[in-house]
Chains A and B, each alone.
Chain A
Amino acid sequence: MNALHAYLLVSVALFCIGLYGLVQRRSLIAMLIALELMLAAASLNVVAITSLSSHHASVGQVVALILIGVAAAEAAIALSLFVAIQRKVHSIDVEDLSELKG
């Protein structure tokens, strides 16, 4: 196993831990944390491949920077939505948010 595959193994592990949390947790904030872990795994993947397998490492850094920006915007919107949902339904447990369930 060379260096790049070690990074990719860590990235796969982070992604799977995030996926487990996203499926298993019920609190919306915990699900957001798991989702951010998966995004971090994706950006780690991009940076590792571009710096260890091509000479365009700066392109990977730019992609990861844009990914961080999008993740920050998404998390801000999501957290404000959670606050609004809590104010309306008095819970952020996904099992309680079943108004649209047929």
Chain B
Amino acid sequence: MNYGGLVFGLSAALAILGALFAVGLRNIFHNILGFALALVGVAGLFLSLGSDFLAAVLILVYVGALAIAMVYAVMLSQPLDLAPQARSVPKVLGAAGLAVLVGVALWLVVGRAYFPPPDGILQATAQWAGWRLLSDYVLAFELISVLLVVAMIGAVMVARRARPPARRAGTGEAA
């Protein structure tokens, strides 16, 4: 029994099914659950490629943090009690046609490309990835941390409710 093929098949089915849920269902909460399912599938594909650390990070960041943040954004924004509007058929057909067209074009390029088999020892472990991250790609690593800090502060500033400048001289501190 080829366990690698089994893991690949299960994960690929999970990813495709979750992606279909994520764009096809009408309820936005079901979309987010489908998104989480799709990302679990992609993490399984990373596992079947031998990238265990990457699979763990993907589940932590996407399923653990991003899906929760999306649920919060939905609860803060979407009026869920309103019935969703009907989809216009030409728009659905046009979008599906565009997606199929792009998919066929991509597969025509990718499907007939030749990829040579790997030469040498495969450096797929987390140890190798950490070594690369702190030697060759240390600048990108540091820039990512700066980017995350900037994004966090920016998100707080943008989403903060703009209050009028309050004058509380003598009321707050005295009590």
Instruction: List residues of A whose CB falls within 8 A of some B CB.
Output: 3-10, 12-21, 23-25, 27, 29-30, 32-34, 36-37, 40, 43-44, 47-49, 51-62, 64-66, 68-77, 79-87, 92
Given A29-B28, A48-B49, A59-B132, A14 and B123 contact (CB-CB distance below 8 Å): no
Q: Say if the beta carbon of B174 comes within 8 Å of chain A.
A: no
Instruction: List residues of B whose CB falls within 8 A of some A CB.
Output: 8, 12, 15-16, 19-20, 22-23, 28, 31-32, 35, 38-39, 42, 45-46, 49-51, 53-54, 57-58, 61-62, 65-66, 69-70, 72-74, 76-78, 87, 91-92, 94-96, 98-100, 102-103, 106-107, 110-111, 115-126, 128-129, 131-133, 137, 140-141, 144, 147-148, 150-152, 154-156, 158-159, 161
CB pair B35–A12 under 8 Å, yes or no, is: no
How many cross-chain pairs have Cβ atoms below 8 Å apart between A and B? Answer: 234
21 sampled A-B residue pairs with Cβ under 8 A: A3-B8, A14-B38, A16-B106, A17-B19, A24-B96, A36-B35, A40-B38, A52-B49, A52-B118, A54-B118, A55-B119, A55-B121, A57-B49, A57-B50, A57-B124, A61-B132, A65-B54, A69-B147, A72-B66, A73-B150, A83-B159
CB pair A76–B152 under 8 Å, yes or no, is: yes
CB of B6 to closest CB in A, whole Å: 13
Classify the interface of chain B: helix, strand, loop or mixed: helix
Q: How far is the CA of A42 from the CA of B123 in the complex (A)?
A: 21
* B32, B45, B111, B156 interface centre (most CB from chain A within 10 Å): B45
CB of B74 to closest CB in A, whole Å: 6
B28, B110, B128: which contacts A30 (Cβ < 8 A)?
Answer: B28
* B22, B23, B140 interface centre (most CB from chain A within 10 Å): B23
Give chain B residues whose Cβ lies under 8 Å from the Cβ of A44: 42, 45-46
Name the CB-closest residue of B to A5.
B111
Q: How far is the CA of A68 from the CA of B66 in the complex (A)?
A: 11
Give chain B residues whose Cβ lies under 8 Å from the Cβ of A27: 28, 78
Name the CB-closest residue of B to A27.
B28
Q: How far is the CA of A64 from the CA of B133 in the complex (A)?
A: 11
